[in-house]
Structure 1
Amino acid sequence: MDLRELSLAKRHSRREIHITDAYTVIIREKNLMFGGLGCATWDGGVILARWIDKFSHLFRAKRALELGAGVGVSGIIAAKHTESLCVSDYLPDTVENSKYNFRVNLDEQVMKRVHFRMIDWHAFEGDTSSMKNHFCTKLSHNDAFIEQVWYRCETCFPCVSTGVCEPCYREFHEEHSPLSTPEYSKFRCDCNASHSIKTDFQQNSMEIIFGSELVYSTLSCEALAATVDFFLTDAGVFYQVLQAKREGVGLFCSIMHAKGYQCYVTSVPQAYHENTNTLNWALKGHENYLFYTWKRATSAFPIMHG
Structure 2
Amino acid sequence: MPDPLLPGPLWLIGCGNMAGAMLAGWIQAGIDPSHVTVIRPSGLPAAPGVRALTSAPEDEVPAVVLLGFKPRMLDNVAPALAPALDPGTILISILAGVEQASLRARFPAPRTIVKAMPNLPVRLGKGVVNLYSDSQDIEAKAMATGLMAALGHAEWFEDEDLFQAAGILTGAGPAFLFRFVDALADAGEAIGLPRAQALRLAASMVRGSGILADSSDESPGRLAERVASPGGTTEAGLNVLDSDAALSGLVRRTLEAARARSLEMAAEARPPSD
TM-score of the superposition, structure 1-length normalised?
Answer: 0.22
Structure with higher helix content: 2
TM-score of the superposition, structure 2-length normalised?
Answer: 0.24
